[in-house]
Structure 1
Amino acid sequence: MTQHSVRIWDLPTRLFHWALAASVVGLVITAKVRGNAMEWHFRLGYGVLALLVFRMVWGLMGGRWSRFTSFLYSPVRVLRYLRGSAHAEDSIGHSPLGALSVFALLAVLVAQVATGLLSDDEIAFAGPLTRFVSNAVVGQATGYHKEIGQYLVLGLVGLHLIAIIFYVLVRRQRLVRPMLQGDKLLPAPATPSRDDLTSRAMALVVLALSAALAWWVSSLGAAAGF
């Protein structure tokens, strides 16, 4: 059978994926070590904030298969996929199940970062947004961030890894290599994602603006003397 090599994941999406993965690992480690490591926990948190903002924007203007519209499946489409009646495009970018995993993980990470910005350990570290809300809100955010949120993140990351292993070993689908190289071997031609110098320069601008926003948020705490 003839295989067609198609650019599915553009470079900005691939760099985002691996940068987010490394940052989440770093956040988990620094949270467990605590102490002075919490300074890095906050820095990594601001980094994840920048990455999430970037992904939200890139999901609207990125390469064909990185846009949210390419993997925003209807419940009927998901059910058909689960019943084995997959659409021809279901195996090109994110599958219906993969899409659910991506949206869930993004949502949980947004909640974790947001509550982190509102958290206070009542010892040495407080999020930059704590001065804008009541003590009750700070307490609720801190409780969620330390107790519920971190385990949701760990659980979804674990499910994500299990799903990858399942697709690689059982369904014999290569998922890791395309996220490294960008191209995917497909049984039929498909519309490739745009991944030229112009789109990469555009992504760099979006990332710079996202980083500037994260830096501004972090400066709010400094302005309050935290």
Structure 2
Amino acid sequence: MPRILVWDVAIRLVHWLMVILVPLLWWTAEEGHMDWHRSLGLTMFALVLFRLIWGLVGTWTARFLPMIRRLGSLKSYLAHLRTRKYNPSFGHSPLAVLGVFALLTALATQIATGLFAVDVDGLESGPLAILISFDTGRQLAEIHEFNFNLLAILIGLHISAVAVYHFLFKATLVGPMITGYRLRADFPEQTLPENRPRLVPAIVAVALTLGFVVAILNF
């Protein structure tokens, strides 16, 4: 049966790299491997920054504006779910849009505070901590620690939601995030937006991301 591209390779790569990085960042912080933690943190910074840029210039399912517009149907979407009626969304569902924005906000907060955080003895700090005072750096370190707990809760909710959709609504969510494709028959009688790969915007997004990372490394 004919298939259609739902998630471009950039979205899928960023998603699964984040899945790998979050537990690694937690482990390196818990075990005191701060050199690794900083390197992995900069990698996460690059992923989050790229995702934010890609949300402006990427494929249709990656862009934030269509996601925001989809929030207008959140009430009716929830009403259908309560009656066990599940209609697959091309891209993020209205409920998933809230999850995406919540997770990106938590990740961006985690990265921003980590860039400036300072530990108790001042020996370990983020690459931009030199720009602020010690006391401010300590406050940001505390926010950094607290925000990770919030991030962990959001991740737990995300995993739980995927499980509910899988077992209760028999929805196929993980597979398309691996292959990028779904069957056209999953969206009957729907006129789907153009979702072709965008090479030039992808190159621009990568170049901007690398430029910011290099600037931080050479600060």
CA distance in 1, matches of 2:217, 2:102: 25
Q: Output aligned runs, 1:44-123, within 5 Å.
A: 44-73=40-69, 76-84=72-80, 91-121=89-119, 122-123=121-122
Which residue of the partner structure matches residue 126 of structure 2? 127
Q: How many residues end up aligned between the 2 structures?
A: 211
Residues 48-102 of structure 1: CA deviation (Å, up to 9, x unaligned): 111111111111111111111221146652222112289x986221111111011
Q: CA RMSD in A?
A: 2.2
Structure 2 counterpart of 1:181: 179
**Structure 1 residue 194 corresponds to structure 2 residue 196:** yes
* TM-score, length-scaled by structure 2: 0.88
> In the alignment, does 2:152 pair up with 1:159?
no
- Supply the distance in 2 between the matched residues of 1:208 and 1:26 (Cα, whole angstroms): 26
| Larger RCO (CA under 8 A, 6+ residues apart) | 1
Runs of 4+ residues over 3 Å off in structure 1: 73-76
Contact 1:128 1:219 in 2 (8 A): no
The superposition leaves residues 81-139 of structure 1 with CA deviations (integer Å, 9 ceiling, x where unpaired) of: 112289x9862211111110110000001001110011111253111221212233212
- Deviation for aligned residue 1:23: 1.4
Matched with 1:16 is: 14
Tell me if structure 2 keeps the 8 A contact 1:14–1:179.
Answer: yes
Cα distance, 1:4 vs structure 2: 5.4
- From the superposition, tell whether residues 54 and 123 of structure 1 become closer, same or farther in structure 2 (CA, over 3 Å): same
CA distance in 1, matches of 2:58, 2:77: 25
**Counterparts of 1:4 and 1:69 in 2: how far apart (Å)?**
28
Contact 1:47 1:211 in 2 (8 A): no
* Structure 1 residue identity aligned to 2:213: A
**Match of 1:126, SS?**
coil
Aligned to 1:224: none
User: Is the 8 Å Cα contact of residues 52 and 106 (structure 1) preserved in structure 2?
Assistant: yes
Q: CA deviation at 1:183?
A: 0.8
Which structure 2 segments of 5+ residues have no match?
Answer: none
**Following the alignment from structure 2 to structure 1, what is the Cα–Cα distance between the partners of residues 193 and 75?**
25
**Alignment match, 1:137:** 136
Measure, in 2, the Cα distance between the counterparts of 1:219 and 1:181.
37
Q: Percent identity?
A: 33
Distance 1:124 1:82 in 2: 50
User: Do the aligned partners of 1:119 and 1:139 also contact (CA within 8 Å) in 2?
Assistant: yes
* Structure 1 residues without counterparts, runs of 5 or longer: 221-226
- Structure 2 partner of 1:223: none
Deviation at 1:142? 0.8
How many Å separate the matches in 2 of 1:151 and 1:157? 10
Residue 39 of structure 1 pairs with residue 35 of structure 2: yes
Once the two structures are TM-superposed, the CA of residue 5 in structure 1 deviates from its matched residue by 2.3
* Compared CA separation, residues 56 and 10, structure 1 to 2 (3 A): same
